[in-house]
Chains A and B, each alone.
Chain A
Amino acid sequence: DTGVSQDPRHKITKRGQNVTFRCDPISEHNRLYWYRQTLGQGPEFLTYFQNEAQLEKSRLLSDRFSAERPKGSFSTLEIQRTEQGDSAMYLCASSSNHPTSGRVGEQFFGPGTRLTVL
């Protein structure tokens, strides 16, 4: 399977704990995006990487959130001191400006990580 993968698929944690999610994009994709989706809503943008550089961060990304893409391949999203309001689906997407197939800029989404904070 050469799609976007995310790990874990589900995470249940207690309030105040730290959690870390991983996203592996499609191998030739240089762009990687994180979105958050709460129940019944559309996804909201969190942050975006081009290669290893974090180019944009949403104001939704509070100080408790940090994202990295150390070698321009996989990315991690860490949430420190989780709160109940952090409960959501965290979606990762990737795209390429030089795709071998598909449209330039088309974002391919992973299956998401569903976080539940008790």
Chain B
Amino acid sequence: AQKITQTQPGMFVQEKEAVTLDCTYDTSDPSYGLFWYKQPSSGEMIFLIYQGSYDQQNATEGRYSLNFQKARKSANLVISASQLGDSAMYFCAMREGPVAAGNKLTFGGGTRVLVKP
């Protein structure tokens, strides 16, 4: 079974509107972390936001927020007020085990977002 599933291969969004990118995950480990990364055409992976499995509140970082629904094993990324520079690939990733273990990230297949002016 896929550990990280991103069901939207591509999305168009109008500039200044909000967009939600879906991510579901599968793990039996009670301690895990969920990440979202942005990858523009230049190829670098840019960290956006992090949610720990024990965090009580949904994470927010500027225009990015994470809609964490633990029982449903989903961690959707919401980008508010989209900008042209938000056009990129977006990857959801999971680290299984506690932070201190330094475990690898498992990535989903990504969602390509194109922001229209």
Decide: A89 near B43, CB < 8 A? Known: A42-B109, A97-B102.
yes
Shortest Cβ distance from A46 into B: residue:
B104
User: Given A42-B93, A48-B102, 15 more contacts at CB 8 Å?
Assistant: A40-B110, A42-B107, A42-B109, A43-B105, A45-B104, A48-B103, A56-B104, A91-B45, A97-B100, A105-B33, A105-B95, A106-B47, A107-B35, A109-B37, A110-B44
Residues on the B chain within 8 Å of A112, using CB: 43-44
Do residues B104 and A42 form an inter-chain contact, with CB atoms below 8 A?
no
**Contact call B43/A105, Cβ cutoff below 8 A:** no
* Between-chain CB contacts (< 8 Å), 6 pairs: A40-B110, A43-B105, A91-B45, A97-B102, A105-B33, A112-B43
B34 → chain A closest CB, angstroms: 12
CB-CB contacts of A82-118 with B at 8 A, as 1s and 0s? 0000000101010101000001111111111010000
Once A48-B104, A91-B45 are accepted as A-B contacts, the answer to whether A105 and B99 lie under 8 Å apart by CB is yes
A50→B108 contact, CB < 8 A: no
State A108–B47 Cα separation when bound (angstroms).
7
B42 at the interface (CB under 8 A from A): yes
Please name all residues of chain B whose beta carbon is closer than 8 Å to the beta carbon of A74 when the two chains form the complex.
none
Cβ–Cβ < 8 Å partners of A22 in chain B: none
- 6 closest A-B pairs by beta carbon, nearest first, are A42-B107, A109-B45, A105-B99, A45-B104, A31-B102, A104-B99
- Bound form: Cα–Cα A107–B50 in Å: 11
Q: A41 contacts B110, CB within 8 Å?
A: yes
Residues of A within 8 Å of B80, CB to CB, are: none
Most buried by B among A44, A45, A107, A111: A107
Complex interface: chain A residues within 8 A of B107 (CB):
42-44
With A33-B104, A50-B102, A106-B50 in contact, do A43 and B91 touch (Cβ < 8 Å)?
A: yes
Q: How far is the CB of A11 from chain B (nearest CB, A)?
A: 14
B106 at the interface (CB under 8 A from A): yes
Complex: A106 Cα to B46 Cα, angstroms: 11
Q: How far is the CB of B39 from chain A (nearest CB, A)?
A: 9
Distance from B93 Cβ to chain A, minimum over Cβ atoms (Å): 8
